Amino acid sequence: MTYIPHSPNERDEMLKTIGVKSLDDLFDAVPKKYRFPKLDLPAALTEMEAADLLDELAGANESTHQLVSFLGAGMYNHYIPSVVDHILRRGEFYTAYTPYQPEISQGTLQAIFEYQSLMTALTGMELSNASHYDGATATAEAVNMAFANFRGKRRKIVLSPAVNPQYRETIRTYTQGMELSVAGDDANADLLAGPEALLPLVDRDTALLIVQYPDFFGRVFDYTKVIEAAHAQGALVCIAANPTALALYKTPGEMGADIVVGEGQPLGLPLWFGGPSLGFFTTLKKYVHKMAGRLVGETVDSNGEKAYVLTLTAREQHIKREKATSNICSNQGLLALGSAVYLSVVGKTGLRQVANLCYQKAHYAAAELSRIPGMGLCFSQPFFHEFALCVGKPVEEVNAHLLEHGILGGYDLGKDYPSLNGYMLVAVTEMNSKEEIDMLVEVLKEAVHA
């Protein structure tokens, strides 16, 4: 038996101590009619056979290591320094539980405390929690927090149509029992307009305005004035941010945001077919009691030594039950550690280099691609490492052609925005060489004129 250490003798001694004759006798409380069903599952494999099977399944994929990727739209292909996974593979970290016993969990606790510190440094906010499941659920939790902040008296959120469509869908799922209306992200919204276009919707009934930075189309706006105007109506503002961009651009904290959330995957985490990744959540001190999720605080132990504990747990489900700020329990602890290791090992210099390389290469790609007759950029506003490109043909068709040449094309924006049929969202990172970008340009030329 694979991981069960008992010898037959030991088993029998234990049964005797308990006072039953067989293992099956332990299950008398289970209704006899349903007891011991035959499970129709494949017979057990040895480790050697399982390794082969999994190898075969993984081998049936074409990964971004085999293809040249220009696909982003929420998850990005970045270089992960070797150190990150070496630390994550330490059993002391990955086989520990939530640090409820601080005397023997200071490793996890200090690492989370440092993660919280790094995220506040990056976003320019005052505090960070210990993580949410991903960028989408962190954004949905921002809605919960804002709703609770106004004790349910403000019943509207304004959601920019330029927020990641999967985040918007998740928010709609999360809020379906809340008697809350969502405005701003209808299919016919004017996508060329800047975020100011949302302001007429923000009123005295609005709990939260949500915008993305850079937005889903890669555009970078300074939200300072928009935030001021939303605050004038008494509403809170949440910015869903890309953490790589934050190494370069003005922080949401400087712009006056109340909540900054986002997907932490670009910070040293693998694409992993979409997860597990990392939802980060940062805010201001005045909202700390309304915030969901675990929080690590500094203290001292009985010897007066500086140490860390989970704090303000009275907000959480295991204490507050149905009155809790959220039902979250398991979070993304190990991924938060991964991102902290990434930020530590690339440091200030490395992180700036990554952001700058993304910017430079994306702008080179955009310049070259828009020179192709019939193609052009959808938007004229400044962008970071992603841009909407008109390819003048169904994107699916163009991507099929690219794939034949080993290129993973950009996201088909027509899937979410009817007005953007024929537009592709191209992402470029430090992983894309000039040669790869030039190849994309060449093959796209062929594709559109084929």
Site for other proteins in 322-341 (CB under 8 A): 322-324, 326-335, 337, 340-341
Chain positions 67 to 86 lying near other proteins, rule: CB under 8 A, are 67, 69, 71, 73-75, 77, 79, 81, 83, 85-86
Near other proteins by CB under 8 A, which window of 113-121, 189-197, 203-211, 441-449?
A: 113-121
Contact 424, 414 (CB under 8 A): no
Residue 56 or 190: the one with the smaller Cβ distance to other proteins is 56
Interface residue with other proteins, options 188, 349, 380, 450 (CB under 8 A)? 349
User: Is 90 one of the binding residues for other proteins (CB under 8 A)?
Assistant: yes
Residue 272 or 374: the one with the smaller Cβ distance to other proteins is 272
| Six-digit token string for 117 | 């510190």
Total site size for other proteins, rule CB under 8 A: 206
In angstroms, the CA 361 to CA 413 distance is: 21
CA of residue 155 relative to chain centroid, distance: 26
- Output the furthest CA–CA distance in the chain (Å, rounded): 84
Near other proteins by CB under 8 A, which window of 29-37, 191-199, 204-212, 442-450?
A: 29-37
Task: Please report how close the Cβ of residue 233 comes to other proteins at its closest, in angstroms.
Answer: 25
Task: Please report how close the Cβ of residue 162 comes to other proteins at its closest, in angstroms.
Answer: 16
Chain positions 114 to 173 lying near other proteins, rule: CB under 8 A, are 114, 116-118, 120-122, 124, 127-128, 130-131, 133-137, 144, 164, 166-167, 169-170, 172-173
Binding mask 180-219 for other proteins (x = CB under 8 A): ----------------------------------------
What are residue 103's phi and psi, to 5 degrees?
Answer: -60, -30
Distances (CA, A) of 393 to 98, 143, 332, 362, 375: 51, 38, 40, 22, 10
- Classify residue 65 by burial, with Cβ atoms within 10 Å: 0-12, 13-18, 19+: exposed
CA of residue 41 relative to chain centroid, distance: 34
Q: At what angle do helices 434-449 and 395-404 cross, to 10 degrees?
A: 120
Chain positions 236 to 295 lying near other proteins, rule: CB under 8 A, are 246-251, 254, 263, 270-276, 285, 288, 294-295
Per-residue b or e along 68-85, where b marks 16 or more CB atoms closer than 10 Å to that residue's CB: bbbbbbbbbbbeeeeebe
Near other proteins by CB under 8 A, which window of 190-198, 203-211, 370-378, 431-439?
A: 431-439
Residue 202 or 243: the one with the smaller Cβ distance to other proteins is 243
Task: Please report how close the Cβ of residue 374 comes to other proteins at its closest, in angstroms.
Answer: 23
In angstroms, the CA 256 to CA 337 distance is: 28
SS3 405: coil
Task: Please report how close the Cβ of residue 30 comes to other proteins at its closest, in angstroms.
Answer: 5
Supply the DSSP symbol for 421.
Answer: T
Interface residue with other proteins, options 158, 191, 209, 354 (CB under 8 A)? 354
